[in-house]
Structure 1
Amino acid sequence: MWQLRTKHLFIACLAKIQLCLKAEFIILHITKIELYQFWQQHNHPIELTNNEMIDQKLNYLHNNPVEERIVNEPEHYLYSSALDYSGGKGFVKITIIE
């Protein structure tokens, strides 16, 4: 009889441990998302109505790898259009906005 009770207690204990591990995993996963989130959660399109706004957004995009210390110059980032805008030819086919 004691073996049956021990078995049930053991199974109940394992179930609690499993729930705790699931909760811990979820908490770690959520925290990791918050720590390493690259994109913003919201999507609010901004209409680029003039060349000044276009230049501002392009400069922001081109300087991101420099700000994050991935490269020293915007043109050094392989998958950026910065090289094309500085007169070179990058890996990504783009249409230059004049």
Structure 2
Amino acid sequence: MELPAFFKRTHKQETTHQVWEEGNHPQIIESEAVMHQKLDYIHQNPVKRGYADQPEYWRYSSARNYAGQAGLIEAIRAW
């Protein structure tokens, strides 16, 4: 039996294998570089799913605030 194929979740239709475990894995954000990495990941999600061409085009994203545009809610950018 091939384990990556065995553990693939049935709702994952675009792949035949699953390497990473499903779920949330909390991490302490200890540097500004890691904070930017996490923000970039979050901001790219609508683009990867095809909902928007650019992160700031997704109206619900804080990427709008980081691009100097008005967002739906205020994003606190200092940490």
CA distance in 1, matches of 2:45, 2:38: 11
Alignment of 1:24-63 (within 5 A): 31=10, 34-35=11-12, 41-63=22-44
Task: Please give the TM-score of this superposition, normalised by the length of structure 1.
Answer: 0.56
Unaligned runs of 5+ in 1: 1-29
- Deviating above 2 A after TM superposition, structure 1's stretches of 4 or more consecutive aligned residues are 40-43
Matched, 1:88 2:73: no
Matched, 1:72 2:53: yes
**Structure of larger gyration radius:** 1
**With CA pairs under 8 Å and 6+ residues apart, which has the higher RCO, 1 or 2?**
2
Task: Please give the TM-score of this superposition, normalised by the length of structure 2.
Answer: 0.68
- By percentage of residues, which structure has more helix? 1
- Give the match's secondary structure for 1:49: coil
* Length, aligned pairs only: 64
Unaligned runs of 5+ in 2: 1-8, 14-20
Q: What percent of counterpart residues are identical?
A: 33
Please, what is the CA RMSD of the aligned residues?
A: 2.1
